[in-house]
């Protein structure tokens, strides 16, 4: 999921994935080795250094949130952004004792507080807010004379998930909006411009406050979000390629800063914004920095994890369903005991992790977690991509993620990328088709139907015979979860 983080995979593919090793939703049985305490990683916040914090209210109410705001100010902090919907306050302070003082000043109102990064704050705090949107009903009507776009024949991935057949039924509803939580979407790309929902687009990377300026949500240092967006909903317009759901709209929700980091306050902003604006689906091809796994027995990490989880669960209650990439470390996430990459914004250490250490947002409740599959030769057979994470009880569904042709910023053109970051947007597109056909389905129902409709994938060797072997059965295994997503079933 180069910072924005471009962590290139070996081989001829253009591989970009922010999630070098995303973990997954679900709850596999813990292995005994994971019961030990996680390795502490103290985050230093010296006097004079402006540091960022999440402060979580004990209760998710506006009244409790106001008490936390007052506690922040009395503790010498600045309230950067409040989310009363979930009882989370984003604060900045240059006082080393801020964590202790805000709890002392806030008393019972403060639940947890934690620093969100291991380095000083480097951005400002612009001010912007907006209201929500309302959708109309949708009914499937057969498409008349579907004409392929010029490079649609190169999109093996769309054939693999039956998106080409689904388009004979419908391209999706204009009332459906997918929030692309990523590095921004190229507003000038001819295959994307027709489907960008400018009104609902936002930049969350200025300290976690929503910035709706005209260009803030556009890409600056990475085309990762642009590639992801093309897979979800590149337009059917006689140009280039076609996305999984070319008739829906996409909002660019920029959560990746220019250095390539997605800090907790950025993710909180993105998820709450999606819920506020009643977005139908979000795609999340990243993990939240600076920790690959946030451990519940470490106070700073626990507070950040709680804030992001509140944002995810609140937006889900507003009707938004979330898809996330599984990660690119070829790791069995049901038996994962170490992390050598965190914190990634300063100096990583070798950490022991336990069952309370989770990737966020991918491992949070209700998030659809997606593994990556590769095409076998020139057929429509597929096998687990060599880089893809896996894990029995961790993967929900699979989707194509190797050598995916989609939109890029350079020259408003097209390019191949590989990663679970490329698999997840296929699922976001399928969920958008599903919501188009069934606008009243809840996120819980959509997740259940997505899994039930997936085409079973039997255990087989992964691409290159890399990583832990497949375990499980035809209907649910560590490589494909409950199977390859099916766009045709979703739209019917």
Distance CA 8, CA 20 (A): 9
pTM over 0.75: yes
Tell which residue, 8, 98, 83, 110, has the closest CA to residue 48. 98
Mean pLDDT by runs of 10 across the 492 residues of the chain is: 35 32 31 67 92 97 97 96 98 96 96 97 54 36 69 97 97 98 98 98 98 96 98 97 98 97 98 98 97 95 98 98 94 91 97 91 94 95 96 96 98 98 98 98 98 97 96 97 98 94
At 145 the pLDDT is 62
At 137 the pLDDT is 35
Q: Is 251 helix (H, G, I), strand (E, B) or coil?
A: strand
At 355 the pLDDT is 87
Query: What domains does the chain contain, in order, with CATH numbers?
Result: 32-36+131-491 (3.40.50.200), 51-115 (3.30.70)
At 125 the pLDDT is 45
At 35 the pLDDT is 60
**Main-chain dihedrals φ then ψ at residue 203, nearest 5 degrees:** -110, 120
Whole-angstrom CA distances from 415 to 121, 226, 231, 406, 410 are 34, 11, 11, 6, 9
At 25 the pLDDT is 30
Distance CA 67, CA 64 (A): 5
At 5 the pLDDT is 36
Burial code (b: 16+ CB inside 10 Å, e: under 16) for 283-301 equals: bbbbbbbbbbbbbeebbbb
At 384 the pLDDT is 98
């Amino acid at each position: 999921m180069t910072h924005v983080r471009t962590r290139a995979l070996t081989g001829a593919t253009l591989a970009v994935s922010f999630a070098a090793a995303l973990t997954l939703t679900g709850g596999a049985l813990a292995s005994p080795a994971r019961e030990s305490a996680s390795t502490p990683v103290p985050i230093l916040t010296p006097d004079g250094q402006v540091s960022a914090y999440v402060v979580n209210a004990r209760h998710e109410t506006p009244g409790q949130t106001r008490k936390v705001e007052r506690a922040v100010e009395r503790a010498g902090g600045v309230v950067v952004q409040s989310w009363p919907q979930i009882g989370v306050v984003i604060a900045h302070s240059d006082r080393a004792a801020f964590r202790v003082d805000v709890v002392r000043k806030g008393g019972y109102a403060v639940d947890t507080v934690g620093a969100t990064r291991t380095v000083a704050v480097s951005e400002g705090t612009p001010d912007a807010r907006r209201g929500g949107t309302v959708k109309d009903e949708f009914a499937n009507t057969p498409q008349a004379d579907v004409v392929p776009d010029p490079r649609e024949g190169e999109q093996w991935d769309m054939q693999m998930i039956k998106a080409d057949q689904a388009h004979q039924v419908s391209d999706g509803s204009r009332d459906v909006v997918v929030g692309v939580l990523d590095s921004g979407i190229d507003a000038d790309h001819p295959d994307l411009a027709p489907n960008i929902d400018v009104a609902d687009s936002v930049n969350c990377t200025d300290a976690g406050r929503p910035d709706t300026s005209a260009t803030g949500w556009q890409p600056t240092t990475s085309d990762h979000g642009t590639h992801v967006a093309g897979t979800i909903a590149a337009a059917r317009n006689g140009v280039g390629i076609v996305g999984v759901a070319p008739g829906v709209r996409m909002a660019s929700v920029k959560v990746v800063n220019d250095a390539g980091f997605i800090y907790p306050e950025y993710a909180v902003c993105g998820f709450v914004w999606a819920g506020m604006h009643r977005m139908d689906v979000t795609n999340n091809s990243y993990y939240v920095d600076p920790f690959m796994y946030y451990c519940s027995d470490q106070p700073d990490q626990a507070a950040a994890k709680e804030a992001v989880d509140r944002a995810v669960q609140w937006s889900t209650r507003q009707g938004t369903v979330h898809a996330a990439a599984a990660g690119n470390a070829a790791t069995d996430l049901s038996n994962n005991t170490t992390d050598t990459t965190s914190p990634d914004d300063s100096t990583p250490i070798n950490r022991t992790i336990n069952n309370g250490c989770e990737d966020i947002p991918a491992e949070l409740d209700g998030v659809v977690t997606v593994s990556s599959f590769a095409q076998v030769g020139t057929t429509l057979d597929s096998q687990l991509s060599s880089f893809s994470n896996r894990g029995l009880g961790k993967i929900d569904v699979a989707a194509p993620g190797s050598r995916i042709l989609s939109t890029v910023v350079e020259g408003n053109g097209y390019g191949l990328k590989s990663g679970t970051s490329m698999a997840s947007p296929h699922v976001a597109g399928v969920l958008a088709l599903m919501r188009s056909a069934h606008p009243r389905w809840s996120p819980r129902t959509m997740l259940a139907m997505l899994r039930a409709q997936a085409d079973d994938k039997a255990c087989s060797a992964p691409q290159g015979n890399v990583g832990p072997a497949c375990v499980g059965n035809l209907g649910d295994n560590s490589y494909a979860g409950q199977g390859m997503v099916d766009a045709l079933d979703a739209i019917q």
